[in-house]
Amino acid sequence: MIGDILNFVEQVGIPVTSAIAVGYFLFIILKFLLAQVTDRISSLSKSLLSLENRVDVMNNDIVKIDAQFSCAFNCEPNLDRIAASEGKEDARDD
């Protein structure tokens, strides 16, 4: 093993060998860092999806409350808002 390494250094020279070694270590470090970044991005993506679902649920609840108040006070309900929320399912996980 060590003989092979010394033979390689003898064939290509010390600068080329050290450049290859530094390149390999940089590759390992970048691979490690990018794996951590990918994990964090997927975690943030899940959090954002959860927040988006909560916003959709809150919007549906506001439309429902608006329709109930309109009915209680004999006012004309906001039909545009009701039509915009039609057909959306409840996205809550709980």
Q: What is the pLDDT of residue 94?
A: 43
- Is the pLDDT reported for residue 24 higher than 90? yes
DSSP H stretches of helix in 1-94: 2-12, 14-72, 79-85
Q: What is the pLDDT of residues 66-80, one digit of tens each?
A: 888 888 888 887 777
User: pTM for this structure?
Assistant: 0.54
Q: What is the pLDDT of residue 78?
A: 74
- More confident site: 45 or 86: 45
Q: What is the pLDDT of residue 86?
A: 66
Q: What is the pLDDT of residue 75?
A: 83
- Is the pLDDT reported for residue 34 higher than 70? yes
> Dmax of the chain from CA atoms?
93
3 state SS of 85:
helix
- Is the pLDDT reported for residue 31 higher than 90? yes
